[in-house]
Structure 1
Amino acid sequence: MWWAFPGLHLLRRRQLAQRLPTGPLRDFYACPPPQRSNALTDTTFAVLDFETTGLDPRHDHIISLGYVEIRQLAVRLDSAWHSLVATPRVLPENTTVVHKLTDDTVARGRHLEPVVAELLGKLSGKVLIAHQARIELGFLQRICNELYDAPLILPWLDTQELAQRHLRRQQLPMEKRTLRLFNLRARFGLPDYTAHNALYDAIGTAELFLALVFELNPRLDGRLGDLKPRWS
Structure 2
Amino acid sequence: MLSGLFGPPKRDIAPGALLAVDVETTGLKPGVHELVSIGWVPVNDRVIDLSGAGYCVLSGAHVGDSATVHGVTDEDVERDGVPAAEALQKFLKAVEGRKILAHFAQMETGFLGALHKDVFGNTWRVREDEVVDTMTMERRRMERKGTYPRGEDLRLARVRRRHGLPEYGNHNALTDAIACAEVYLALTAAKEDN
Asked whether the equivalents of residues 85 and 110 of structure 1 are also in contact (C-alpha less than 8 Å), the reply is yes
Match of 1:202 in 2: 177
Asked whether the equivalents of residues 85 and 106 of structure 1 are also in contact (C-alpha less than 8 Å), the reply is yes
Structure-2 change in CA distance of 1:186 and 1:146 (3 Å): same
Distance in 1 (CA, whole Å) between partners of 2:9 and 2:161 is 39
The alpha-carbon deviation at position 218 of structure 1 amounts to 2.7
Match of 2:85 in 1: 113
**The one of 25, 44, 47 aligned to 2:17:** 44
Match of 1:178 in 2: 153
Match of 2:57 in 1: 84
TM-score by length of structure 2 reads: 0.89
Letter of the 1:97 counterpart = T
> Aligned pair 1:13/2:45, yes or no?
no
Alpha-carbon RMSD across the aligned residues, in angstroms, is: 2.0
How many residues are treated as equivalent by the alignment? 187
The alpha-carbon deviation at position 48 of structure 1 amounts to 0.3
Match of 1:212 in 2: 187
Provide structure 2 residue ranges, at least 5 long, that are not aligned to the other structure: none
Asked whether the equivalents of residues 61 and 87 of structure 1 are also in contact (C-alpha less than 8 Å), the reply is no
How many percent of aligned residue pairs carry the same amino acid?
28
The alpha-carbon deviation at position 129 of structure 1 amounts to 0.7
Match of 2:71 in 1: 100
Deviations 1:58-85 (A, max 9, x none): 1211111111011120111111111111
Provide structure 1 residue ranges, at least 5 long, that are not aligned to the other structure: 15-28, 35-41, 220-232
Deviates more, 1:66-75 or 1:95-104: 95-104
1:192 is paired with a residue of what secondary structure?
coil
The alpha-carbon deviation at position 88 of structure 1 amounts to 4.5
TM-score by length of structure 1 reads: 0.75
Distance in 2 (CA, whole Å) between partners of 1:186 and 1:141 is 31
